[in-house]
Amino acid sequence: MTLGEKENAEIEGKITGVSGNAVTVRTEKDRTLTLTADSTTTIRIRGTTGALADLKTGLKVNAKFDPFTKVATRIVVQTQEEESEDEEEGERKEAETPTNIPHTLQGRTDCLACHQTGAAGGPDVPADHSGRTSATCQGCHQPKRT
């Protein structure tokens, strides 16, 4: 990834609320995330362009978003046929919201100092997070509040 290139996160689940330009999605594991849809958000329904007004509670969606701003770059409504195919194939994938950091950042702002080495029993950085910085970590994972 180069400087200035956007990094997207992804979530899949059902819409539990739409209010103004905010869309709340809940995963199968009961994690929720509220995303903002703006003029740059692409909404797709059954292969065609949709609008924010088309998003309703209960629809299953896959959304890509900027992990720092939580602005959705793309929201795709999954049809019942797609859901059935997923279930039949046993390939239901769930992109979860990031886990919270179980400690404060006071004196611990360099995530990679511990998590690249597994120091103090901390989990290792996942392979798909390779090349990310501590600032990127803290853009998705929220620290414990003091």
**pLDDT on residue 138:** 75
Sequence ranges of the domains in the chain: 9-89, 99-146
C-alpha angle with apex 96: 107 to 94, nearest 5 degrees?
155
Neighbours of 65 (CB within 10 A): 23
SS (H, E, C) 60-104: EEEEEECCCCCEEEEEEECCHHHHHHHHHHCCCCCCCCCCCCCCC
**pLDDT on residue 1:** 42
**pLDDT on residue 57:** 93
Instruction: Answer whether 61's CB lies under 8 Å from 55's CB.
Output: yes
**pLDDT on residue 12:** 93
Strand partners, 32: 26
Distance CA 6, CA 95 (A): 18
C-alpha angle with apex 124: 25 to 110, nearest 5 degrees?
90
Instruction: Answer whether 111's CB lies under 8 Å from 124's CB.
Output: no
**pLDDT on residue 139:** 74
What CATH number does domain 9-89 carry, 3.90.1150.10, 2.40.50.320, 1.20.120.450, 1.10.238.10? 2.40.50.320
**pLDDT on residue 30:** 87
The answer, as to whether pTM is greater than 0.85, is no
**pLDDT on residue 97:** 61
10-residue averages of pLDDT along the chain (146 residues)? 63 95 92 94 90 93 91 89 48 55 82 75 74 78 71
Neighbours of 73 (CB within 10 A): 18
Burial of 20 (0-12, 13-18, 19+ CB in 10 A): exposed
